[in-house]
Amino acid sequence: DVKVTQSSRYLVKRTGEKVFLECVQDMDHENMFWYRQDPGLGLRLIYFSYDVKMKEKGDIPEGYSVSREKKERFSLILESASTNQTSMYLCASSFLGLGNTIYFGEGSWLTVV
Amino acid sequence: AQKITQTQPGMFVQEKEAVTLDCTYDTSDPSYGLFWYKQPSSGEMIFLIYQGSYDQQNATEGRYSLNFQKARKSANLVISASQLGDSAMYFCAMRERLMKTSYDKVIFGPGTSLSVIP
């Protein structure tokens, strides 16, 4: 079975803190994605990656950065957390190719106070 | 820019009846893939069905079928014989290979909340 593991299920951070959300997949997928999910807005793409050290901006990259030093790991970084970044963050991975299923982690609930 | 629209924020359906969840998309690329995912209250994202833009027939997976109308850029999900366990959020997604690149971008719609009534 494909497994996408997000390191933290629930986090509470203070405004201005640097936050790291880690994601690991065990299926040698080229593609990895970070989304945030908010009520009424669905899943919005923050960043994605298609290879080690390669990254592309999604639709809402402002305030975020990412790192992919190893194929299996994709990290989302909030350089200086703000209250409007309180959200559910979902990591996903997939093989390249239009028909390949996208597999999701369980999500990380981040609260910034 | 890519965009996915799901115009029904919430839907109700009687148990054992069929329901259609709407999805329209916008792309200028002739090659793309469309997905539907289910997210129950537990939060996990469950893959339901896939349709490729060049597929001649509408996709079906058990009680799920996809009503794909390429010219209208719509990919509606049809759930037949609804069950109580179908109550969940449903997301439509589009995967597109960006022009002159070797990577795919996947975007999701805002979702539809489906409630199945006994």
Question: Residue B91: its chain A contacts at CB < 8 A?
Answer: 42-43
Q: Residue B49 has what pLDDT?
A: 97
**A52 close to B (CB below 8 A):** no
Give the residue-averaged pLDDT of A65-82: 97
Question: Residue B54: its chain A contacts at CB < 8 A?
Answer: none
- Say yes or no for a CB contact (<8 Å) between A104 and B44: yes
Name the helix (H) or strand (E) containing B70.
Answer: none
Q: What residue of B is the nearest CA neighbor of A58?
A: B105
- Say yes or no for a CB contact (<8 Å) between B110 and A42: yes
pLDDT tens profile A14-71: 999 999 999 999 999 999 999 999 998 999 999 999 999 999 999 999 999 999 999 9
| One-letter amino acid for residue A51 of the chain | D
pLDDT tens profile B32-74: 999 999 999 999 999 999 999 999 999 999 999 999 999 999 9
Nearest to B31 among A98, A101, A104 (CB): A98
How far apart are alpha carbons A77 and A90 in whole angstroms?
Answer: 13
Residue position matching structure tokens 């054992």:
B16
What residues in chain B have their Cβ under 8 A from chain A's Cβ atoms?
4, 6, 9, 31-33, 35, 43-45, 47, 50, 52-53, 91, 93, 95-97, 102-111
DSSP states of chain A: ---EEES-SEEEE-TT--EEEEEEESS--SEEEEEEEETTTEEEEEEEEEETTEEEE-S--TTEEEEEEETTEEEEEESS--GGG-EEEEEEEE-SSTTSPPEE---EEEEE-
Phi, psi dihedral angles at B85 (to 5 degrees)? -70, -5
Structure tokens at B8: 């029904």
